[in-house]
Amino acid sequence: MPKSNEQPKVNMEDIVALAKRRGFVYQGSEIYGGMAGMYDFGPYGVELLNNLKKAWWKEHIYDRDDFYGLDSAIFKEPRVWDASGHTTGFSDPLAECKVCNTRIRVDKELERIGVTADEKMSETDLQRLFDENKDKLKCPKCGAKDFSPVRAFNLLVKTNMGDFTGDGFDHPVYLPGEACQGIYLNFKNVVDTTPARIPFGIAQIGKAFRNEISPRNFLFRTREMEQADTQYFVKPHENKAAYDRIKQARFDWYIKMGIKPENLNFKQHENLVFYASDAWDIEYNFPSYGFDELEGIHDRTDYDLSQHTKFSGVDLSYTEPTTGEKYIPWILETSVGMGRMFLAFLSDAYHVETTSGDDTRVVLKLKPELSPIKIAVSPLLRNKPELVELATKVYRQLKTTFNGVAYDDNGNIGKRYRRQDEIGTPLCVVIDFDSLDNHEVTIRHRDTMEQTRVKISDLDATITKQLAGF
């Protein structure tokens, strides 16, 4: 049994180190020195990521009756980004260190020293705050206090898909600054081809790219990301009750999936974009730097469908089938970066426990449905053919019933348990010499470290029960 559940404070470095050590996340292009804001998910990371996506998808598409799924193309006709306001207004405030040319994101640097600021403030207001606090602000790289004036820096990433002029950027297309635009573009398609009737939602997990000025905090702020978005279409002015319900449902989902309630917060936006009627963030208490935005919940009124109606010339209004009433629906949005979600779940599951004496173990207490591996099967000794033979048989048998079964014969049994604890594997099954005679194996529980002996013939049923009990 673990001796103490008291948690030492977890740092971001601990999480980054575990992610690397246990094959969850690697720095992108690492062998070339890495690329800022880019990460690759390793064998266990991609499992956790996919399990999170599956859980999110199940919540909206399988467990509800009023949601439809979508997977829209990354590239979009460039006018989409004019209509959405991204080509002109999708920017963050930037200033440049006059000594070493390091670029800083002004609102975030102000926040860091305790000044309330955000990217939606006007350039003039941000410049005023920047000037008022210039004694406290210094370049994160060289420490100088001499900066260029604040200017808006557009975050859209341009590319030359379909441009054969040779010089690349005569007719740029854009990588999506946010994934949700694909949902607006397909609103009419979904209404015309499914039984969808307002109110209803469309859910999508899609790629987005932002030229973030200073990618930071590991997976928190990256330049390439996946966003899990829902857009809920309601009748004009019938937004309030649905918004409150959606906001609470997203908060509750994190708790249902295992996040500790004390690590979650709601925060209302003080500055709204001109078309929004309300906006809240669900914040998570990230290691080392505290509460920050995990997911945004936005009440966007009729802005998106009105803009695309105007720019495309296609009427995106909706007609009530019973009354014939015609209107542009209002939209309630939820949007979360899968990397941020991954980081929140990884950090929340990370526990350090004292086991015996001064011995400690790191254990990822993920819910089994999120764990990359559910069951690790081992022979007690890897060099005893009779143990290996039976362990392989048990492994193959379990694989026919469960997803996420791994065979692990690396190192001694103690090391295997430690490694599987760090990966978050709920159950380890070990085949020893007694198993050859009595056909019983040991199941070791990740959280209690308790071991039970079980007949091989009862293994499926016992594992099903134990997994359900986490």
Minimum CB distance to ligand ATP smaller for 225 or for 370: 225
Q: Minimum distance between the CB of residue 9 and ligand ATP, rounded to whole angstroms? A: 23
Q: Is 211 in the site for ligand ATP (CB under 6 A)?
A: no
Q: Minimum distance between the CB of residue 431 and ligand ATP, rounded to whole angstroms? A: 43
Q: Is 210 in the site for ligand ATP (CB under 6 A)?
A: yes
Per-residue interface string for the shown chain with ligand ATP, residues 243-282, x marking contact by CB under 6 A: ----------------------------------------
Q: Is 337 in the site for ligand ATP (CB under 6 A)?
A: yes
Question: DSSP characters for 396-422?
Answer: HHHHHH-SSEEE--SS-HHHHHHHHHH
According to CB under 6 A, which one of 221, 250, 308, 444 is a site residue for ligand ATP?
A: 221
Minimum CB distance to ligand ATP smaller for 90 or for 233: 90
According to CB under 6 A, which one of 51, 84, 222, 230 is a site residue for ligand ATP?
A: 222
Cβ neighbors of 59 (< 8 A, separation 6 or more) are: 253
Minimum CB distance to ligand ATP smaller for 90 or for 318: 90
Question: DSSP characters for 116-173?
Answer: ---TTS-HHHHHHHHHHTTTT---TTT----BPPPEEEE-PEEE-TT--SSSS-SS-E
Burial of 143 (0-12, 13-18, 19+ CB in 10 A): exposed
Q: Is 421 in the site for ligand ATP (CB under 6 A)?
A: no
d(CA 237, CA 229): 22
The DSSP bridge pattern shows strands 427-431 and 451-455 to be unpaired
Listed ranges 54-62, 123-131, 189-197, 332-340: which one lies at the site for ligand ATP (CB under 6 A): 332-340
Pair of tokens at residue 459: 């293994």
According to CB under 6 A, which one of 246, 336, 346, 443 is a site residue for ligand ATP?
A: 336
Residue in 209, 243, 207, 190 with CA at minimum distance from that of residue 61 = 190
According to CB under 6 A, which one of 59, 109, 283, 293 is a site residue for ligand ATP?
A: 293
d(CA 264, CA 253): 11
Contact 340, 294 (CB under 8 A): yes
Q: Minimum distance between the CB of residue 170 and ligand ATP, rounded to whole angstroms? A: 28
Q: Is 230 in the site for ligand ATP (CB under 6 A)?
A: no
Pair of tokens at residue 227: 């966003």
Cis peptide bond N-terminal to 199, omega within 30:
yes
Which residues of the chain form contacts with ligand ATP (CB under 6 A)? 178, 210, 212, 221-222, 225, 227, 293-296, 335-337, 339-340
